[in-house]
Structure 1
Amino acid sequence: MKKSTSLFFLAAIFSANSLCAQQKKAVTATDQKMNTFINQLMSKMTLEEKIGQLNLAAVGFDVTGPILSQGVNEKIEKGLMGGVFNTFTPQAVRKLQELAITKSRLKIPLLFGYDVIHGHKTIFPIPLGLSTSWDLDLIEKSARIAAREASADGLNWTFSPMVDIARDPRWGRIAESSGEDPYLGSLIGVAMVKGYQTNSFSNKDAILACVKHFALYGAAEAGRDYNTTDMSLIKMYNEYLPPYKAAVDAGAGSVMASFNDINGTPATGNHWLLTDLLRNQWGFKGFVVSDYTGINELEAHGLGDLQTVSAKALNAGTDMDMVGEGFLTTLKKSLQEKKISQATIDQACRRILEAKYKLGLFADPYKYIDEERAKTEILSQKNRADAKTIAEASMVLLKNNNQLLPLKKNAKIALIGPLANNKRDMIGNWSAAGEWSQAISVMQGLKNVAPDMDITYAKGANLVDDPGILKLINANGADIVADEKSPEKLISEAVSVAKNADVAVVVLGESALMGGEATSRTELDLLPNQKDLLKALAATGKPIILVLMNSHPLTLVWEDANVPAILETWFGGTEAGNAIADVLVGNYNPAGKLTTTFPRNVGQIPLYYNHKSTGRPYDGVSNEKYKSRYIDSSNDPLYPFGYGLSYTSFAISPVQLNKVSMKAGQTIQATVDVQNTGDFDGQEVVQLYIQDIYGSVTRPVKELKGFQKIFLKKGETKHVTFTISTEMLKFYNADLKFAAEPGDFNVFTGSNSRDVSSAKFSLLN
């Protein structure tokens, strides 16, 4: 892909706004028709039926938790349910939809939602892995395929994209994020919404996106899931809110409230967040759904009993109650006691009905039920081929001393590790409908890709030996069974296999169930039993290629110092094994770039590239005491944001500006020459950062403002140009005014956030 994204985000938002403006006249008649239909429908609805539309029930079981909904059939028949989640397949969906259409009084169809997070049946890399591709077209394609499969399986609503900015790798849900940067996160959020919803809900394969978790969920204190958050409005507006707004501006049909509090009030009951900001400032027209029992949990936050918190949530702007049934059981009483108004109930009901109307469910309640389409669409060979391509693009080469990679296809290798011949973990966390039995292991992938390779396998270690972690993740479906052999025996076998090979390919990392919701960690090293294995293998003197599978960015100081080649593959999905094998043998030259900073140790956390300076910044060299530094560790990360190697090498020239000043409304061109100086064709992500040197408030040391992913043949040079506009220099000041301030700016270009060249320009009054 060759695409300038220095203005892509602005263009995407402008395009969305322009499209809305262009469509206003065209959709007026459609809106009027919808409003007339819904007005007539609501005039027939009882209070109970209106409240019923606000009720989202769980039917079935998956990773979100146990079934809390009871008497589902009866409630559907009475019109006391607006939607269902955890139910899919055409047969199962038809059964419930028929109840609503044939048994309920007003025949209002149901919404069917599901956690389609990184694929439905064909699973793609975990979202953090998708983001490291820096390829918006591929990311959008992954969402498009997911929507096609999900819609063919009876679903019309996904609880995705998650656009939370995540700067604490201890947080388990960093796996679902696009990393630490608001600019890149915004672009990815827009791409995902477009992929799910297409350009028209009239399409049978368009499903409703749900932007989550609104808001600030990724800033949970101590990296502990569901924990509190606390931040200034300036930080909120400049660093955490942009991806949510971008996804809303792109037309997302629904938003999910987060579990955490904002300014002392949990999101689910936060009127400022859900009404003042989301609806009044941003103009969001869709509906807001709580997270799983999010309304009930306001009780534990200390905001009142179930009736009190249900009224608070509705008044705040939460339209749909996921699973908790607080709305269903208390809103009528709250209305009688004048704690809520009929208008507020009607408004929430209308928003749910509008979503159903836009999806075409009133015209055809069975629109998403097509058994023949399910047979041809789900897990098709085309979908799997695309999944392999996307998985390859997500992989990040962290180290490759002496060009140990790529491997020769006839090499004699020792394939070692608990994840080397493993299907169960390939599809990662939040792969709710994914079938791990359909996944390709690394061993199978190598056999598929390099049939002449001499492979000897040894497990080497259990994936998890720690009894506390093992008990917790097995209770949630990890299915890890300890090997009958002792840890010492497993290591001994692996060492023996390694000694008889040319190179050891060691596949280590986390269980898939060590990432995702409720999987926060306090330590980010490889688990001790795996590190013991790696150290024993290193002692043999044989060259080692470490292949990592993990949801959290890990602390890899020992590995970086002692292992010559390290490939980060995250959890690559259904085609992970084939994709990893293609990278290992050089069929695909890795081009992924990190979207999260990898710390040296947990003591550095939070650690992110776009931090602010201090009054006493440390230069990393001097021994001066009174500087912002540690006495026992470097301030610097192990691997910086934007970092990733290739089998080839690239030379990026110093950045050149076509002029050194501009006025508002003008632009400056920043250019570099990029040369492929190595022995392989490859891709490079050329990155543009800007620093506002002096501001009315403190500003980050640099901020990503553009990138281009380009392909160069061996020896080829390309001229890369970025356009810097006034819009790119804007930020929210102390008055929360979004504006660019005249003054001096630094421009940085390079292959990552650390290794850059710079130039300076001025914005004039």
Structure 2
Amino acid sequence: MSLEEKALQLGHDAPALPRLGIPKYNWWNEGLHGVARAGIATVFPQAIGMAATWDVDRMRNTADVISTEFRAKYLERRHPDGGSDFYRGLTVWSPNLNIFRDPRWGRGQETYGEDPYLTGQIGTAFIRGLQGDDPKYFKTIATSKHFAVHSGPESNRHREDVYPSLHDLEDTYLPAFRTTVTEGKVASIMCVYNAVWGVPGCANAVLQEQYLRRAWGFQGYVVSDCGAAANIYRKDALHYTDTAPEGVAAGFENGMDLICGDYRNGMTTDPENIVAAVRAGHLSEATVDRSLQRLFEARIRLGLFDPQLPFANITAKDYDTPEHRAKSREMAEASMVLLKNQGNLLPFKSAPRTIAVIGPNADSFDTLVGNYYGTPSQPVTVLDGIRARYPNARILHAQGVGLIGPAEAPVPDSAFRGLRVQHYANRDLQGTPSATETATNAQVTWSGDRESSARWTGTLVAPETGEYRFRFSTENGYRVWIDNKLVVDEWGVGDAPSILAGSIRLKRGKSYAVRVEGFQRGARGQQQLLWSLPSANGDDAVAAAAQADVVIFAGGLSARIEGEEMKVQAKGFAGGDRTSLDLPEPQQKLLERVHATGKPVVLVLMNGSALSVNWADTNIPAIVEAWYPGGEGGHAVAGLLAGDYSPAGRLPVTFYTSADDLPAFDNYAMQGRTYRYFNGEVLYPFGHGLSYTRFTYGNARVSNKTIQADGSVTVSVDVTNSGAMDGDEVVQLYVAHPGKDGAAIRTLQGFERVHLKKGDTRTVRFALKDRQLSFVDPQGRRRISAGQVDLWVGGGQPVSRPGLAQAAGAATSFAISGEKLLPR
């Protein structure tokens, strides 16, 4: 290859080189909880929900299904020469291993929670499922991201310079990455937007060379987060170097192998800067060749140059199958966490005759799928699931309220007059329309995997007098004009979902000129104009509740108000992150009104992060954490309410009583954060989750009461299902090193999800050795130290508060003699 050809191969959209028999390959593919952004696919629960299963076997099997669907999607649009396009390749930019250190972070939903051990084990299982176990070929390639020390705030992610202590780096921020490299054998790593200790993550030799390659033995390739390579030199970002060629040289010379450019900010993959860097002497061509070798080894191990593809049993139709959707439902059921069940309201003792299903998430597609998702062909909302589970009941539905404002509804056909739509084969409404036609509504079902845009013009007739709010439900940008006034402009960066709305006062019966513009990248379902009417005050939901035997209030958040660099104009939110952990105020007010009817209420929370539902914990008898439960999520919620299975999900994060209990969001020090370093009382602790049956623990014991620092110990406990229903229990092992400077309050070092029939007993064993016996001292050294080690084995942590009993469990201990320092 020429230098110019080499440079082109170092960007995420690598062009074909026909003379060398090299097909085009696009490295950018998303697979956080299913194949994302490639049209119809099986959508599993969001990552935080899958972590709530505490089930490594289920996680590996799920990732195996996802990798099958990636292969199918690749075959569906494979180029004749074997090439692939955007979101149609086999290199998967997942899992997200960042530690969810602060619940205010909008992208925490993408993670496996706040604990390094749980994250490492769940992440490794996901990677093994994605990459497969063939000795020669990768089924797909997984990517551990974002390396490293990255968890908000979103508003400053391109400029943030983080200075973690050596203790926190070794104790919190790196262990999960290390596990997925040393145990999971992950083949790809994604470097971060931010800087660490003054050096951009993608140019950070300490992280990428000293830790990743030398200490951990990583053999794969490192890809930049999208736009992160440009952050190295951008004046409005980290500005680590003065020029672009110097910036890309710093990246490649210090461990980065592949640049993902960011179309959202107009950034290229910098091939011209790579060439300029080599010619100016900033970057050696040998370094370029080293990166190319890593990248082509990956493509070869995917079988992309073989005359016959590996995994030949997979066809282009092997996605969104009934079997895969059944797996999604099982994962959703396993992820449900029963937070509260006063008076055993759940499961329902008999089928209610009248059920009111209300709240912003009751019939919401958005809250099924979270972010980074595919399109389920048969999405089942909570409302759908309850209707299916109780076909003979009278089901009353009223949204009552929106996520952060009044209830929204599609603008009906009857409100429009003389509507026309122009379609464009680009995102900017440029050039001659590809089609112009009359329309009955401002809505569209986007098709294909390319960028497209549309403009609707006509007249709108107001049915009421008062303030209206408008937005366009889409995955990308939109603008709405009413009466020639720009009511809302969310053309945006073009990737993050949005819920931004604009308001205008209209008069009943009056006609107004209306213009709606929107664009879309990829096929992601039907989009349409929404409005909030002046009369939307929640009275319909209260009236429905008053008629019901039981009320299901489906509330919480959605990935349209918590997520990645987004516009949210509401109290408690900022740029995709949150400033408050409370249930959004409009929902809280409606929940209180519904409760005042005197009818029993079940609060179903759908969200990707912790909520401080203190009022609900005091007043609402039953609370279910459903996360963003995937395409089959409504069936899983309905089955839990009916008692078709006993819930066994456990929290992978702490639910605090208030954000005021936490250090500043932009402070990356771990003291006062997560269950390991927070000393206060919490609403629901990490590891918490109730069941419909009862488990008891006994005969906790260790194989040796004293071990050497280089030895091991086996912890055993007898677990009995002493309740009246078969069910799963998540047995959790916590280790504490009392009196050791730098050691956490306690730390998870083992877990197993077991199924027990009623009356059965099982002995569960955990082997502790090496790093599981260690703690990190204040100087950042991981050590095994002489002294007593306290153990707790139970269905949660040994903590309680008024109104929340301590989880069942048993304690034991042993002693270590001698000292041992462990490597990085």
- Cα separation, 2, equivalents of 1:240 and 1:132: 20
Determine the structure 2 residue equivalent to 1:138: 58
Q: State the Cα distance separating 1:735 from its structure 2 match.
A: 6.3
Q: State the Cα distance separating 1:231 from its structure 2 match.
A: 0.8
Q: State the Cα distance separating 1:341 from its structure 2 match.
A: 1.1
Alpha-carbon contact 1:414-1:501 (below 8 Å) kept: yes
SS in 1 for 2:372: coil
Alpha-carbon contact 1:56-1:322 (below 8 Å) kept: yes
Deviates more, 1:233-242 or 1:397-406: 233-242
Deviates more, 1:447-456 or 1:268-277: 447-456
- The alignment status of 1:311 with 2:368, answered yes or no, reads no
SS in 1 for 2:369: coil
Alpha-carbon contact 2:186-2:220 (below 8 Å) kept: yes
Q: State the Cα distance separating 1:486 from its structure 2 match.
A: 2.5
1:705-749 per-position Cα deviation (integer Å, ceiling 9, x unaligned): 112222222333333333333542124446655431111111122
Q: State the Cα distance separating 1:146 from its structure 2 match.
A: 1.0
Alpha-carbon contact 2:558-2:607 (below 8 Å) kept: yes
Determine the structure 2 residue equivalent to 1:474: 499
Structure-to-structure mapping, 1:291-440, within 5 angstroms = 291-298=225-232, 299=234, 300-303=237-240, 304-323=242-261, 324-325=267-268, 327-364=270-307, 373-375=315-317, 377-408=318-349, 410-411=351-352, 412-431=354-373, 434-435=374-375, 438-440=378-380
Determine the structure 2 residue equivalent to 1:158: 92
Matched residue type, 1:320 = L
Structure-to-structure mapping, 1:11-410, within 5 angstroms = 45-57=1-13, 81=14, 100=16, 103-120=18-35, 121-154=41-74, 155-200=89-134, 206-218=139-151, 220=152, 225-226=157-158, 227-249=160-182, 250-298=184-232, 299=234, 300-303=237-240, 304-323=242-261, 324-325=267-268, 327-364=270-307, 373-375=315-317, 377-408=318-349, 410=351
Alpha-carbon contact 1:176-1:516 (below 8 Å) kept: no
- Cα separation, 2, equivalents of 1:540 and 1:278: 58
CA RMSD of aligned residues (A): 2.6
Matched residue type, 1:458 = A
Structure holding more helix per residue: 1
SS in 2 for 1:345: helix
Matched residue type, 1:752 = G
Alpha-carbon contact 1:439-1:575 (below 8 Å) kept: yes
- Alpha carbons of 1:479 and 1:293: their partners in 2 closer, same or farther (altered >3 Å)? farther
- Cα separation, 1, equivalents of 2:323 and 2:377: 19
Determine the structure 2 residue equivalent to 1:499: 546
Matched residue type, 2:11 = N
Alpha-carbon contact 2:171-2:780 (below 8 Å) kept: no
- Alpha carbons of 1:236 and 1:325: their partners in 2 closer, same or farther (altered >3 Å)? same
Matched residue type, 2:330 = T
Structure holding more strand per residue: 2
Alpha-carbon contact 2:260-2:269 (below 8 Å) kept: no
- Cα separation, 2, equivalents of 1:369 and 1:514: 42
Alpha-carbon contact 2:153-2:577 (below 8 Å) kept: no
- Cα separation, 1, equivalents of 2:769 and 2:276: 55
Determine the structure 1 residue equivalent to 2:386: 446
- Alpha carbons of 1:223 and 1:143: their partners in 2 closer, same or farther (altered >3 Å)? farther
SS in 1 for 2:713: strand
Alpha-carbon contact 1:109-1:365 (below 8 Å) kept: no
- The alignment status of 1:703 with 2:760, answered yes or no, reads no
Structure-to-structure mapping, 1:600-619, within 5 angstroms = 600-605=657-662, 608-612=673-677
Matched residue type, 2:230 = N
Alpha-carbon contact 2:743-2:777 (below 8 Å) kept: no
SS in 2 for 1:640: coil
SS in 1 for 2:716: strand
SS in 1 for 2:4: helix
Alpha-carbon contact 2:139-2:311 (below 8 Å) kept: no
Matched residue type, 1:425 = T
Deviates more, 1:343-352 or 1:387-396: 343-352
Alpha-carbon contact 2:709-2:785 (below 8 Å) kept: no
- Alpha carbons of 1:646 and 1:479: their partners in 2 closer, same or farther (altered >3 Å)? farther
- Cα separation, 2, equivalents of 1:216 and 1:106: 40
1:330-359 per-position Cα deviation (integer Å, ceiling 9, x unaligned): 122222221111211111111111111111
1:354-408 per-position Cα deviation (integer Å, ceiling 9, x unaligned): 11111121224977999x9222x11000000010000000110000001111124
- Alpha carbons of 1:474 and 1:369: their partners in 2 closer, same or farther (altered >3 Å)? farther
Q: State the Cα distance separating 1:670 from its structure 2 match.
A: 3.0
- Cα separation, 2, equivalents of 1:674 and 1:212: 36
Q: State the Cα distance separating 1:126 from its structure 2 match.
A: 0.5
- Cα separation, 2, equivalents of 1:408 and 1:301: 59
Determine the structure 2 residue equivalent to 1:541: 598
Alpha-carbon contact 1:680-1:713 (below 8 Å) kept: yes
Matched residue type, 1:117 = L
Alpha-carbon contact 1:51-1:349 (below 8 Å) kept: no
Q: State the Cα distance separating 1:591 from its structure 2 match.
A: 0.3
- Cα separation, 2, equivalents of 1:584 and 1:610: 29
Q: TM-score, normalised by structure 2?
A: 0.75
Q: Structure 1: which 5+ runs fail to align?
A: 1-44, 58-80, 83-99, 619-634
- Cα separation, 2, equivalents of 1:349 and 1:364: 22
Structure-to-structure mapping, 1:593-632, within 5 angstroms = 593-605=650-662, 608-612=673-677
- Cα separation, 2, equivalents of 1:153 and 1:111: 13
Alpha-carbon contact 1:146-1:196 (below 8 Å) kept: yes
Alpha-carbon contact 1:609-1:702 (below 8 Å) kept: no
Determine the structure 2 residue equivalent to 1:742: 786
Matched residue type, 1:683 = D
Q: State the Cα distance separating 1:468 from its structure 2 match.
A: 12
Q: Structure 2: which 5+ runs fail to align?
A: 36-40, 75-88, 262-266, 407-468, 473-487, 491-497, 501-518, 521-526, 566-575, 664-671, 800-805, 819-824
- Alpha carbons of 1:669 and 1:278: their partners in 2 closer, same or farther (altered >3 Å)? closer
Matched residue type, 2:384 = Q
- Cα separation, 1, equivalents of 2:558 and 2:269: 36
SS in 1 for 2:44: coil
Q: State the Cα distance separating 1:452 from its structure 2 match.
A: 2.5
Matched residue type, 2:530 = V
- Cα separation, 2, equivalents of 1:669 and 1:425: 42
- Cα separation, 1, equivalents of 2:685 and 2:141: 35
Structure-to-structure mapping, 1:511-660, within 5 angstroms = 511-518=558-565, 519-605=576-662, 608-612=673-677, 635-653=680-698, 655-660=700-705
SS in 2 for 1:739: strand
- Cα separation, 2, equivalents of 1:396 and 1:225: 31
- Cα separation, 1, equivalents of 2:255 and 2:728: 46
Structure-to-structure mapping, 1:650-729, within 5 angstroms = 650-653=695-698, 655-695=700-740, 697-729=741-773
Determine the structure 1 residue equivalent to 2:427: none
SS in 2 for 1:572: coil
SS in 2 for 1:283: coil
- Cα separation, 2, equivalents of 1:557 and 1:363: 58
- Cα separation, 2, equivalents of 1:722 and 1:56: 43
